[in-house]
């Protein structure tokens, strides 16, 4: 487990930066369609909406950092900002695939509460898994503020409400944009 902790940031970077490459190869081979490729970039763009403030406020000495790095980052924080935005795109792709597997089609054509519910549940679960993974490996954790209360401690680190709130709102924005993206390109 200590070996994993030592390489946690590198594995984080590898997975984040490989995700568009793997998805592009899947697109070229016909394993995913153009909609799923666009979903990835939509999710990465949406992810930048919260990743940028989190990383910019926590990347340098600021008056209001949002996260604390338990181990020093092996690259500039902007490298991680981009990586985590790509990760967000991948998480949205997985969410869209879950919708397609758990809901009757046609998918992402008009508002259906069941599709949104799958995305909301996946968003909450994935946000919690990412945060637990980070705290388990002494990567980063969120700092407690009145607007970011601690939900519980895990491995001696805070698990806070902020990212859960983000992943309660983000799937709604994503879902509405994905419907528009899908119906616009039909």
pLDDT above 90 as % of the chain = 85
Two tokens at 90? 């991948």
* Both structure tokens of 4: 């994993």
d(CA 78, CA 88): 15
* More confident site: 8 or 5: 8
Percent of the chain with pLDDT over 70: 96
Q: What is the pTM of this model?
A: 0.94
Where is average pLDDT lowest: 25-29, 72-76, 95-99?
Answer: 72-76
Domain with 24 in it: 2-184
Q: Are 162 and 141 a contacting pair, CB within 8 Å?
A: no
Of 102, 98, 129, which Cα lies nearest the Cα of 36?
Answer: 98
Query: At 186, is the pLDDT very low, low, confident or very high (cuts 50, 70, 90)?
Result: low
User: What is d(CA 98, CA 53) in angstroms, rounded to the nearest whole number?
Assistant: 29
Alpha-carbon Rg of the chain, whole angstroms?
Answer: 17
Kindly report the average pLDDT of the chain as a whole number: 93
Give the count of domains, the chain: 1
Burial of 20 per CB tally in 10 Å (0-12, 13-18, 19+): middle
């Amino acid at each position: 487990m200590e070996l994993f902790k030592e390489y946690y940031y590198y594995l984080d970077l590898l997975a984040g930066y490989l995700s568009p490459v793997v998805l592009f190869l899947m697109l070229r081979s016909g394993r995913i369609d153009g909609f799923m490729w666009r979903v990835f970039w939509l999710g990465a763009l949406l992810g930048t909406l919260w990743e940028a403030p989190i990383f910019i406020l926590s990347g340098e000495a600021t008056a209001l950092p949002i996260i604390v790095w338990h181990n020093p980052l092996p690259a500039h924080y902007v490298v991680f900002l981009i990586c985590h935005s790509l990760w967000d795109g991948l998480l949205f792709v997985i969410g869209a695939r879950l919708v397609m597997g758990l809901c009757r089609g046609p998918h992402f054509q008009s508002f259906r509460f069941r599709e949104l519910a799958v995305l909301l549940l996946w968003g909450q679960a994935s946000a919690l898994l990412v945060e637990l993974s980070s705290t388990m490996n002494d990567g980063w954790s969120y700092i407690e503020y009145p607007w970011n209360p601690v939900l519980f401690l895990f491995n001696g680190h805070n698990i806070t409400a902020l990212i859960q709130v983000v992943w309660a709102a983000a799937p709604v924005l994503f879902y509405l944009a994905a419907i528009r993206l899908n119906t616009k390109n039909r």
